[in-house]
Amino acid sequence: MGVVQEFLSTVYVVKDSKVLMTWNKKVKTWIPVGGHIEQNELPCDSVIREAKEETGLDVELVCLDDSPTKNLVQPVHVHLDHIKDDHKHINLIYFGKVIGGQFMEESDEQTENRWFSKEEIEKMDLMDNVKEWALKALDGVD
């Protein structure tokens, strides 16, 4: 059998100078909101759906460039995660902001959702790429 390559999308949601993270039971660490992109789903639609399912929030993705195209928001980064030798995740990373919804501190998929300040993120023991993009989101999203 060949290598399994799955596409995911994640969003670093910023509100009031804090970034939203979710505790992942499987990897036992704080990560951004997101998940697998479903068949026939655009990455930007996938991450908005995941944010709603996991946190109850309505999220708008943030364009960091001056592109006039608003129907397909470009990710800020694409990251390759080597899960196992024969399993990879291709992760499209977005920044976003809250535009509505009712925040859920807990959900069925994750154990806890929390907002963290820049100072808290800097002190936390996170995966390197998670810390890097959380800090960039805090610097880049109003």
- What pLDDT score does 2 carry? 82
Find residue 24's DSSP bridge partners: 29
Domain of residue 106, residue span: 4-140
- What pLDDT score does 66 carry? 65
Distance CA 92, CA 45 (A): 12
Predicted TM-score (pTM) of the model is 0.90
Place of tokens 């390759």: 80
10-residue block means of pLDDT along the chain (142 residues)? 85 98 90 94 95 95 71 87 84 96 79 94 95 96 80
- What pLDDT score does 84 carry? 79
What domain count does the chain have? 1
Distance CA 114, CA 36 (A): 21
